[in-house]
Amino acid sequence: MMIIDPKEPRPHMTEMAMILNGYDMNYEQEGHTSLPPASQFPINQQNDTGSNMTQMSLTSLPSIKQKKIESPQDKERDNEIYSVNGKAFDYVKHPIMLQTGKLYRIYIVNMLEFDLVNSFHIHGTMFDYYTAGTDETSDYNTDIVTMSQGDRGIMEFKYDYPGTYVFHAHQTEYTDLGWMGLFDVRGDPVKTNIIAINT
């Protein structure tokens, strides 16, 4: 990931980078990627210059369509593992420690292949989202963002209350196969304005 800051730096806060990705581990639906064996290439003898010369005839190469392909071409490839920053369930086993009341910024990129969309959903708070990471003011405030392939953005947020909070994809398959994590938020609750109504 390459981060380009604006000329006037963004407000200071603790920053993280998160790359959303997946892995096709079994290649069961991999397309045909090899040429036929050399023995199947016909050889033509040409003697235009008076000497024997061996040349391959490109028009008579075996057609890939004529060959039996073990993997059906009508199926799409898919991933068996999904992750953030490369390791499935890593942030479940090793939660990211945060502090109450402190501002955080995540630079996020969806590098998922073979799936058209990915998402990032955060529990327990909302975040300001900067689409594509190019604006200097946030586009909206939300708790989930859906991204197509290659999309990127910036999330800024804080937690007011301590606790363990989940972040994950909103596609259940991705979550079940590794794309989820935990924020371990520590510290005292942040004082908020509470209006008491006497009855």
Structural domain total, the chain: 1
Closest CA to 102 of 141, 156, 158: 158
Q: What is the pLDDT of residue 64?
A: 46
Distance CA 94, CA 144 (A): 22
CA atoms within 13 A on the CB side of 142: 14
3-state secondary structure of 17: strand
Question: Helices (H), strands (E): how many in the chain?
Answer: 2, 13
Give the residues of the chain that fall short of pLDDT 50.
53-59, 61, 64-65, 67-72, 74
Task: Classify residue 8: in a domain, yes or no.
Answer: no
Q: How far is Cα 68 from Cα 59, in angstroms, rounded to an integer? A: 20
pLDDT of residue 5: 87
Q: Which domain holds residue 94?
A: 14-22+82-186
Does residue 196 lie in a domain region? Answer: no
Q: What is the pLDDT of residue 75?
A: 60
CATH at residue 162: 2.60.40.420
Give per-residue pLDDT as tens, 64-74. Answer: 445 444 444 54
Q: Kindly state whether residue 147 falls inside one of the protein's structural domains.
A: yes
